[in-house]
Amino acid sequence: MNGTRIADLGDHVGDEVTILGWLYNRRSKGKLHFLILRDGSGLCQAVAFKGKVDDDLFESLGRLSQESSVIVRGTVKRDDRAPGGFEIGVIDATVVHEAEEYPIAKQAHGTDFLLTNRHLWLRSRRPYATLRVRHTVIRAIRDFFDDRGFTLVDAPVFTPSACEGTTTLFEVDYFDDEKAYLTQSGQLYMEAAAMAFGKAYCFGPTFRAEKSKTRRHLTEFWMVEPEIAYADLDDVIALGEEMLCEIVARVLDKNAEELEILERDTAPLEAIRAPFPRVHYDDAVRALNDGGIEFEWGGDFGAPDEDFLSRQSDRPTIVHRFPAAIKAFYMKRDPEDERLSMSVDFLAPEGYGEIIGGGQRAEDLGYLQEQIVKHGLPEEAFKWYFDLRRYGSVPHGGFGLGVERTVAWICGTEHVRECIPFPRMLYRIYP
Ligand code: 4AD
Ligand code: MG
């Protein structure tokens, strides 16, 4: 069907247009009905005058229930007081479907109720704005890598083994008593891709059997994972920094309206510029202790530690060279200090914590074979991976950016569950 999108009304002032939409809200005043319509591109007010439209229609518009689908024909005029800045003088309308009483009313509902009704909640303003920002973030990421000579190489979802530790693996029955695992990361496959394409990335859903109920954890989340051949840790860090600047700039450029709906203060986002502070793990530990936080060298940062560290700057904080013992098997050791790894985390400002994890990979076959054993991983599942160190092994590295955590930070959303269309969490797999 042909109609005019509400977002494009500015190009149609004075014209007669047809809006294909839903009734978002309605107010009536004597001989007037104010219909707030939404069509997925924005909101606009349509005004029906008694006497100007058919009497039966005028009456039925006055009874129209929230979320009824309706096609409205009318003339566009500019009106700064109307939501969206335009008003439509109704000439005619067709009610396509009269909605039953809509469960999501205008009053406040609890998050649990809203999440159970996520399929409908998507129509509300906050989810709408958040998911539009998500769309921009994903688009910006793809453009960023595509413009820099990266090749998109999709990683499999069914995998024969763990990449990020065995405690968060989802096991599934494959054929003939074989087990498979839902991917925790496409990284190992991207290492193969980097050796083939020089620069590659994958972008897809990732699974972690996280038994934690924090505001940062989903069991299914989206991750983009670039990997580059002939790269060291500094190259990986520079790439992450540039990418984050570009993502934030794109959202500021494209989503002013959405950020306003979310009541997001944009000043902290405007401050996101390179260079980001780079903090050695040793210095991070010192800063925590100096700040009165008890933390022992060798440990991994918990949410309060990340919180403290990220609040030292208005830009993302780059922490590098974590102890090898707390990182994955594939990390390269720091040649300056064997206890450390060439790893990096990017901590988002305003207390949003880790959004990027990555580093430089170990390129030595013998070392990796040892690590696989040390980490209790099945050697036969990694035979193919070892081949990458047999045939033209080079320094290489990359990172993974969690989309939902990034969107949560940019939108100023408390919990990542609102930053994915249909969240999967410890106690939620519906709808
Ligand atoms: O730090 P992680 O575990 O790193 C990796 O998986 C590497 N293999 C990536 C790579 O180097 N190619 O995860 C990367 C990012 C985190 O920084 C975080 O943003 C996100 O993925 N993430 C989660 N997001 C939501 N829910 C979870 N349970 C997440 N676990 C990780
Ligand atoms: Mg990590």
| CATH number of residue 55's parent domain | 2.40.50.140
Residue 151, phi-psi category: left (phi > 0), alpha (psi -120 to 50), beta (remainder): beta
Model confidence at 236: pLDDT above 90: yes
Q: Tell me if 397 CB under 6 Å of ligand 1.
A: no
Q: Residue 112 falls within a domain, yes or no?
A: no
Distances (CA, A) of 133 to 202, 258, 261, 419, 424: 20, 7, 11, 9, 20
- Which residue type does 36 have? I
Separation between Cα atoms, residue 413 and residue 129, nearest integer Å: 11
Q: How far apart are the first and last CA of the chain?
A: 29
What distance in Å separates the CA atoms of residue 317 and residue 304, rounded to the nearest whole number? 15
The structural domain count of the chain equals 2
Give the distance (Å) from ligand 2 centre to CA of residue 131: 24
Among protein residues, the one whose CA lies closest to atom 28 of ligand 1: 217
Is 218 near ligand 1, meaning CB less than 6 Å away?
Answer: yes
Residue 265 has pLDDT above 80, yes or no: yes
Q: What is the pTM of this model?
A: 0.97
pLDDT value of residue 213: 86
Q: Where are the alpha helices (DSSP H) in 39-124?
A: 55-63, 111-116, 118-121
Distance CA 137, CA 215 (A): 20
Contacts of 414 (CB under 8 A, 6+ apart): 215, 408
Same domain flag for 167 and 280? yes
3-state secondary structure at position 335: coil
Instruction: Give the C-alpha separation, 63 to 58, whole Å.
Output: 9
Q: Are residues 68 and 125 in the same domain?
A: no
Residue 109 lies in a domain: no
Is residue 106 predicted with pLDDT exceeding 80? Answer: no
* pLDDT of 210 above 90: no
Residue 296 pLDDT more than 80? yes
Same domain? For 88 and 214 the reply is no
Same domain for 38 and 73? yes
> What pLDDT was estimated at residue 424?
97
- Predicted confidence band at 274 (pLDDT cuts at 50, 70, 90)? very high
Residue 165, pLDDT score: 86
344 shares a domain with 307: yes
Out of 216, 223, 243, mutate this one to test ligand 1's pocket (max ligand atoms within 8 Å of CB): namely 223
User: In which band, very low, low, confident or very high, does the pLDDT at 11 lie, cut at 50, 70 and 90?
Assistant: very high
CA–CA separation, 369 vs 307, rounded Å? 36
Q: What is the pLDDT of residues 376-407, one digit of tens each?
A: 999 999 999 999 999 999 999 999 999 999 99
Q: What is the pLDDT of residues 133-180, one digit of tens each?
A: 999 999 999 999 999 999 999 999 999 988 898 899 999 999 998 999
Average pLDDT for 234-255: 98
pLDDT of 45 over the 80 cut: yes
pLDDT of residue 166: 87
Q: Is the CB of 418 under 6 A from ligand 1?
A: no
State whether 130 and 90 are in the same domain. no
Same domain, 49 and 142: no
279 and 211 in a common domain:
yes
Rounded Cα distance between 428 and 431, Å, is 8
For the chain, percent helix, then strand, then coil, each to nearest 5? 35, 30, 35
107-128: b or e for each residue (b if 16 or more CB lie within 10 Å)? Answer: eebeeeebbbbbeebebbebbb
CATH of the domain at 231: 3.30.930.10
Same domain, 269 and 136: yes
Pocket test for ligand 1, best of 184, 218, 221, 401 (most atoms within 8 A of CB): 221
Domain that holds residue 150: 118-419
Residue 169 lies in a domain: yes
Ligand 1 atom nearest residue 416's Cα: 25
SS3 state at 219: coil
Does ligand 1 lie within 6 Å of residue 236's CB atom? Answer: no
**3-state class (DSSP) for residue 190:** helix
Confidence class of residue 303 from pLDDT cuts 50, 70 and 90?
Answer: very high
**What is the share, in percent, of the chain residues with pLDDT greater than 90?**
95
Q: Are residues 186 and 124 in the same domain?
A: yes
